[in-house]
Structure formats: structure tokens, C-alpha cells
């Protein structure tokens, strides 16, 4: 600063040394000493004499930082960096694809739409993984297929084929087809990007879906649609085979959680308004708890009935997708869209407004999803 008239100091991962101090009669911890030194040094800086600017960055919640760091004269100006929008994701993809030899035919706009809510670091990781996939296939050019596979590997896991009986394989195909048909026909905001009956991680199959655009809140219509999609695998198995399997466990867990928070936290049950999860359980009357649980089960039963009626009505489509999955194992977005169009069920253009409902204050389901068996 004395030599050049100004100095900028950047401290990354500020929370590593800037967490709230702890005190005990045994003496301070090492992090306390480091933070105390930083506070003293920053107190000795004045803009007029030294022209030193200190910038800190952290991904941690602001509440973990020591309050002395945030008082005026220290880190007193805050800039919040959000994840990039559609335009931002396009620019980030262009930036990182320029660092590898990429196929010029890659539709970057479509990539950006497929990567909703991804951070720049996640996009960089996608491109690097795609380059590795291309290298493994002894190609020197990254293609759309490489990037698509990279996204799936990162989000869903690496494929590994399990030896299943034909009966079990058929059950998985119908389970995933139930998710697929319900998602495409009933969901107001999400698109189906992939359907597969190839095992990934612990799942025997998956329907990969995510929002067509950024959504920062979820209304009741969107949450109900997520419940219906989660229940669709169960209803499909029940409709086709007359019995269900333990493959519905994770779906039930997801659906039950959503129905529960709709009633207990978001006031969407119809009978009570308020967040009852903040009230100690012992202070809630048995009647209130019974009513809330009854409203939760009512949502579950109503969604189940609607999905059952849909799948009965669209049995031809359900059978068609199950057959395609048994034959091809995986279906991409374009394959799925083409089959729906062939059956006269083409969807409204991407970007259409979802059905209106009660706005939720938080976002239980904004990111990409894989509905698994």
C-alpha cells in the first residue's frame, strides 16, 4: 500500500477464521486468536492513510460470522451473489465450452434451460466431466450427448446394470412410466428430461425432471403435482399388477413429507392457518394434531385418486412407454415428447404459466429431481 498507493486483500472462505468466537475459562481457541488478530489489524486501517481494501467471501450463512467482523469500519458492505439466470448460464456454458474442443452444433440455449439453478462451479464441473467422457470414448470433440451424460452422472449417478428377472424388469418399467405420464400431463412447471430403467446408485430406474425455468417459490398446484408424480409409480404398479412393491418407499417418503409441510407449515390444509411446527408438540391439543394429520391424509388420498383416474384413462400411453423402456432402456426428452405428440397429447409451449394456488414461503422442490424406484 505504501509503495503503490493502494492494496486489495481478498480472504476466501472467511468463515474458516471468522466464525463467532467461543470463550471458556481454559483459554481461547486458535481460531479465536486468529480472528482477534484480524479484528485488531482491521481496526488499525484507515482509508485516508493506507488505502487498503479488504474483501471477504463465504458460502456459509451470515449468522455464523462473528458480529465484530460485521460492524461499521470492518466488513460493513455486503454483496449477495445468487445463482445465474438463464442468460447467465448461457454465458457460463460458452465460457467453459471455449476451454475444450466442443461440437459447434451444441445448442447452448437448450443446455442453459436444462441446467436450471446450477451454479457456475457446477456448470464447470459438467463441462469437465463431459470432456472426460469424450476422452474415454477416444474422441477429441465434446458433443451434446457427452454433456447430457455428464449431467446425468453428476445428478443421478453412474449407470450399472443389474441382472433382474423379466417380471421385475417389467414392474420397474411400469413404475417409471407411471411417473413419466403423470409428470408430463399434470405438472405445471417441470419437464421430463430422461426416463430410464438402468440402475443408478440405489435406484432400479429413474425419471429425471426439473423446472423449465427458475422458480423461487412453490404454490399449492406445484407441490400437489410433485405429490402426484411421487405417487404415480405406486398407482401404476397397483393398476397393472394388482400388487405393489417396496420400491415405492422413497416415493412415499417424499410425497408424505410434502403433504405434511403443506398442512403443518404452509396453511394449505384448508382447516388451519399457520406454522404448527414451531409450537412445541406438548402444547398442541390432541384434536388439533388429529385434524392436521387428517388433512394431510386427505391430500394424500385425493392425489392418489386423481393419479389412478389419470393412469386408467391414459392406459394406452402407460403401456406404450413401458414397452419402449423395456425395449430401449432409456428415453430422452425428444423421444418422450415425440410419443406424446404421436398420441395427440403434445404439451403447451415451454414457459407457460403454472396453475395458480396458494403461494408457499419456501421452496421444497425447486431443483432438479429424479423420481426413483
Contact (Cβ atoms closer than 8 angstroms) between residue 97 and residue 142: yes
The H or E element containing residue 251 is helix 249-264
176 is catalytic: yes
Cell of 110: 437448450
C-alpha–C-alpha distance, residues 59 and 16, integer Å: 11
Residue 10: partners with Cβ closer than 8 Å, 6 or more residues away: 54, 55, 56, 57
Q: What is the DSSP string of 26-65?
A: T---HHHHHHHHHHHHHHT--TTTT-EEEEE--SS-GGGB
* Degrees, nearest 5: CA angle 175-181-185: 150
Cell of 201: 446408485
Q: Supply φ then ψ for residue 206, to 5 degrees.
A: -155, 145
List % helix, strand, coil for the chain (3-state, nearest 5): 50, 10, 40
Set 176, 237, 314, 324: catalytic member = 176
Residue 47: partners with Cβ closer than 8 Å, 6 or more residues away: none
Pairing of strands 190-196, 330-332: antiparallel
Pairing of strands 7-11, 52-56: parallel
* Degrees, nearest 5: CA angle 240-245-247: 115
What CA–CA distances, in Å, run from 174 to 181, 261, 355?
Answer: 10, 29, 28
- Catalytically active residues, by annotation: 176
Amino acid at each position: 500500500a505504501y509503495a503503490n498507493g493502494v492494496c486489495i486483500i481478498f480472504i476466501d472462505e472467511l468463515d474458516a477464521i471468522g466464525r463467532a468466537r467461543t470463550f471458556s475459562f481454559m483459554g481461547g481457541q486458535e481460531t479465536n486468536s486468529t480472528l482477534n488478530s484480524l479484528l485488531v489489524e482491521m481496526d488499525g486501517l484507515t482509508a485516508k492513510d493506507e488505502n487498503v481494501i479488504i474483501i471477504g467471501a463465504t458460502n456459509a450463512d451470515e449468522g455464523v460470522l462473528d458480529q465484530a467482523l460485521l460492524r461499521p469500519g470492518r466488513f460493513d458492505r455486503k454483496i449477495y451473489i445468487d445463482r445465474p439466470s438463464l442468460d447467465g448460464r448461457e454465458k457460463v456454458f460458452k465460457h467453459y465450452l471455449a476451454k475444450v474442443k466442443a461440437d459447434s452444433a451444441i445448442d447452448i440455449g437448450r443446455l442453459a434451460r436444462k441446467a436450471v439453478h446450477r451454479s457456475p462451479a457446477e456448470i464447470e464441473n459438467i463441462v469437465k466431466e463431459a470432456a472426460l467422457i469424450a476422452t474415454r470414448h477416444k474422441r477429441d470433440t465434446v458433443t451434446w450427448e457427452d454433456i447430457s451424460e455428464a449431467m446425468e452422472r453428476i445428478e443421478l449417478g453412474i449407470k450399472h446394470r443389474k441382472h433382474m428377472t423379466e417380471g421385475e424388469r417389467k414392474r420397474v418399467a411400469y413404475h417409471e412410466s407411471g411417473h413419466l405420464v403423470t409428470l408430463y400431463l399434470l405438472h405445471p412447471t417441470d419437464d421430463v428430461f430422461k426416463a430410464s430403467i438402468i440402475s443408478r446408485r440405489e435406484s432400479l430406474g429413474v425419471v429425471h425432471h426439473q423446472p423449465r425455468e427458475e422458480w423461487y417459490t412453490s404454490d399449492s398446484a406445484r407441490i400437489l403435482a410433485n405429490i402426484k408424480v411421487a405417487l404415480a409409480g405406486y398407482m401404476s404398479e397397483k393398476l397393472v399388477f394388482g400388487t405393489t412393491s417396496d420400491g415405492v418407499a422413497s416415493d412415499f417418503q417424499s410425497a408424505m413429507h410434502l403433504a405434511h409441510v403443506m398442512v403443518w407449515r404452509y396453511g394449505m390444509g384448508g382447516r388451519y392457518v399457520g406454522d404448527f411446527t414451531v409450537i412445541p408438540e406438548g402444547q398442541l391439543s390432541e384434536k388439533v394434531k388429529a385434524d392436521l394429520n387428517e388433512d394431510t391424509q386427505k391430500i394424500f388420498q385425493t392425489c392418489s385418486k386423481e393419479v389412478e383416474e389419470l393412469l386408467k384413462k391414459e392406459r394406452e400411453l402407460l403401456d406404450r412407454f413401458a414397452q419402449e423402456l423395456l425395449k430401449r432402456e432409456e428415453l430422452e426428452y425428444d423421444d418422450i415428447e415425440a410419443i406424446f405428440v404421436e398420441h395427440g397429447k403434445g404439451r403447451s409451449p415451454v414457459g407457460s404459466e403454472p396453475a395458480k394456488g396458494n403461494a408457499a414461503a419456501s421452496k421444497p422442490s425447486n431443483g432438479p429431481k429424479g423420481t426413483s424406484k
